[in-house]
Structure formats: structure tokens, C-alpha cells
């Protein structure tokens, strides 16, 4: 039992040393914890929802604008004096 526990402790210390070595060479460019990563991805989802909402709003506004402009044009064409 003592031997197994000491072997596990040895393996764990080797792994942590290995992780420390890797951490030295690779610099974290993204939040490392799972909680922070989940928050970032969630916010990205909210951000896209906002963008899609704004795009739809602008599209509707543009369509309405084009409709009124077309109506104005047709009105102007109708009321234009015709040469006999």
C-alpha cells in the first residue's frame, strides 16, 4: 500500500513538473479556467444574438424606407402633367 501511494505521489509530481515545463514554453492567450471559457463563449452567443437582432432591425427599416420611396415616386409620376 505504501509502495502504491508513493508511486502515485511520484507520478503526480512528474506530471505537475511536466505541466509546469509546458506552461513555461506556451503562453496562455485565452482564459485558462473552464468557468471563464464558458463565460466567454456565452457572451459570444449574446453578442451574435445582438448583431442578428440589429441586422434584422436595419433590414426591416430599409425595406420600409424603400417601400415609402417607391410610393412617393409613383405618386409623383401620377401627378406629373402629361403632354396631350
Partner 1 sequence: MMKWLEERYDLSDLKEFAKKKHVPAHKHELWYYTGGVALFLIAFQFVTGMILALYYVPYFEQAHKSIIEIVTKLNMGWFFRSVHHWGAQLAIGFLFAHLFATLLLKAYRKPRELLWFSGFILMGISIFFGLSGYFLLWDERAFAAVRVATGGLSAIPLIGDTIKAFLRGGIDVTGETLVRFYAFHVCVLPMATLLLLVIHLALVQHHGMSVPISQQGKESRPTPFFPNALYKDAIIWLIVLGIVVTLATLLPPEIGIKADPLAPPPENVKPEWYFLFLFQTLKLFPGDILGLNGEVIAVMLVVLAMGFCFLIPFFDRKSHAGQRSSVFTLIGTLYLAYFIVMTIVGYFS
Backbone φ and ψ of 25, nearest 5°: -85, -35
Q: Does 41 bind partner 1 (CB under 8 A)?
A: yes
Q: Does 35 bind partner 1 (CB under 8 A)?
A: no
Contact 31, 40 (CB under 8 A): yes
Q: Does 55 bind partner 1 (CB under 8 A)?
A: yes
As measured in angstroms, the least distance from the Cβ of 62 to partner 1 is: 5
As measured in angstroms, the least distance from the Cβ of 12 to partner 1 is: 25
Q: Does 72 bind partner 1 (CB under 8 A)?
A: no
The grid coordinates listed for 63 are: 425595406
DSSP E strands, 1-84: none
Amino acid at each position: 500500500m505504501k509502495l502504491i501511494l508513493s508511486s502515485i505521489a511520484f507520478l503526480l509530481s512528474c506530471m505537475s513538473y511536466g505541466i509546469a515545463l509546458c506552461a513555461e514554453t506556451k503562453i496562455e492567450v485565452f482564459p485558462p479556467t473552464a468557468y471563464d471559457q464558458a463565460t466567454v463563449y456565452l457572451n459570444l452567443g449574446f453578442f451574435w444574438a445582438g448583431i442578428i437582432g440589429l441586422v434584422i432591425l436595419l433590414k426591416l427599416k430599409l425595406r420600409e424606407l424603400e417601400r415609402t420611396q417607391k410610393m412617393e415616386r409613383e405618386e409623383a409620376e401620377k401627378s406629373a402633367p402629361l403632354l396631350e
